[in-house]
Amino acid sequence: MISETELAMIERLRAGLGDMVKEVSSYGGELDDVGAIVRALPAAWVTFLGIQSSAPVSTHKNRFRVTGRFAVMVTAYNVRQEAAQRRGGPRLDEVGCNLIVRSVRRLLTRQDMGLPIEPLMPGRVRSLFSSRLNEKAMSAYSCEFDTVWIEEALECGHWPAPEGDDDPDRVFAWYRGRLDKPYPMHESTGLAYHLDGQGPAVAQDIIFTEAKDHD
């Protein structure tokens, strides 16, 4: 769910921000070499910050409510002055960080992008840096968002048992990890009827599971 959420955030920001930024993508350490990214600014990069907590779902021993945190790092520069780089300049193409931050929060808050997650909740907005490069004022901010999804653990002592190419556990087969055999198909259910709840059954039924026709 981590990769799916990150990619969905990127796609929504690309569509929503339009020409406000030159680039929206996954963060790949771009801020480690600020001089190399000047031509790509203003930009927004999405990254996963980690899992904040995991708690059992009610009394279900194998299901966990997981809280994950993501961040959108926005960076902009302006040839005029530091205040303009934050607030934006007089021209439409001089977008400031404040406008991008507001727009990012507007586009992502309370959105689930059609994924089985709880809607994104806005968190902190932190200043990453503010400096000058080649006479240009530059700054970067991190906009944090939290969401929740459900993870299911394996039974104690069991191994993954993928049942098809769409099974999330299929990755273990791709990398030749140890696997269990998939559970057998549920083909029938046996029923026994007792008049007093005890003693021998007075009647029995077998209900066969019908395979769904997908054609």
Query: Does 22 share its domain with 90?
Result: yes
The residues near 89 (Cβ < 8 Å, ≥ 6 apart) are 78, 80, 96
Query: Does 85 share its domain with 132?
Result: yes
Predicted confidence at residue 183, as pLDDT, reads: 60
Query: Does 120 share its domain with 181?
Result: no
Query: Does 134 share its domain with 208?
Result: no
Q: Which of 119, 152, 185 is the last residue of a domain?
A: 152
Residue numbers of the domain that contains 137: 2-152
What CATH number has the domain bearing residue 21?
A: 3.30.2000.10
Predicted confidence at residue 129, as pLDDT, reads: 82
**pLDDT averaged per 10 residues, the chain (length 215):** 97 97 92 76 95 88 94 80 47 71 98 98 92 72 97 92 87 91 65 69 70 50
Distance, first Cα to last Cα, the chain:
30
Query: Does 202 share its domain with 103?
Result: no
Predicted confidence at residue 184, as pLDDT, reads: 60
Q: What share of the chain is helix, strand, coil (3-state, %, to 5)?
A: 25, 35, 40
Predicted confidence at residue 88, as pLDDT, reads: 46
Query: Does 69 share its domain with 112?
Result: yes
Query: Does 65 share its domain with 136?
Result: yes
Q: Which of 136, 152, 168 is the last residue of a domain?
A: 152
Give the pTM.
0.75
Rounded Cα–Cα distance for residues 78 and 87 (Å): 10
Query: Does 71 share its domain with 145?
Result: yes
Q: Which of 152, 174, 192 is the last residue of a domain?
A: 152
Predicted confidence at residue 210, as pLDDT, reads: 64
Query: Does 107 share its domain with 199?
Result: no
Query: Does 124 share its domain with 200?
Result: no
Query: Does 31 share its domain with 111?
Result: yes
C-alpha torsion sign, points 90, 93, 94, 99: positive
